[in-house]
């Protein structure tokens, strides 16, 4: 309940404030979205498994986002930013798929 409200607050905030992303940070936006989705689906999956934990969720979200950003930043400095972005998205994408599959099994028993 509280997380749902918090999500709504975040969405409304985004719609009202309409923050603009600085050009320097724009390459990180898709990475941040994928990292956030990974944390969210991981949390939902844990919730359905009955082992959800606030602290773990918060830490996993923050560390996911940070590690992804640092990897892309380091990749940019090394000239392989695009490839590392792809690597981050592939790995997190696989986890999102796995977690979604687990959620699906929980919800539909199939």
18 part of the interface to another protein, by CB under 8 A: yes
C-alpha–C-alpha distance, residues 26 and 73, integer Å: 12
Annotate each residue in 25-44 with x if it binds another protein (CB under 8 A) or - if it does not, as one string: -x--xx-xx--x--xx-x--
Site for another protein in 40-69 (CB under 8 A): 40, 42, 45-46, 49-62
Q: Which is nearer to another protein, 42 or 75 (CB)?
A: 42
H or E, element range at 39: helix 28-49
Q: Is 13 in the site for another protein (CB under 8 A)?
A: yes
Least Cβ distance, residue 33 to another protein (angstroms): 5
Contact yes or no for 103/52 (Cβ under 8 A): no
Residue 61 buriedness (CB in 10 A; 0-12 / 13-18 / 19+): middle
């Amino acid at each position: 309940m509280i997380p749902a409200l918090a999500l709504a607050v975040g969405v409304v905030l985004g719609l009202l404030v309409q923050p603009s992303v600085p050009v320097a940070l724009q390459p990180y936006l898709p990475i941040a979205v994928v990292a956030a989705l990974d944390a969210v689906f991981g949390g939902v999956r844990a919730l359905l498994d009955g082992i959800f934990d606030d602290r773990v969720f918060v830490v996993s979200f923050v560390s996911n986002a940070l590690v992804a950003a640092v990897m892309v930043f380091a990749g940019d400095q090394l000239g392989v930013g695009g490839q590392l972005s792809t690597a981050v998205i592939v790995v997190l994408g696989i986890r999102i798929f796995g977690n979604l599959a687990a959620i699906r099994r929980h919800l539909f028993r199939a």
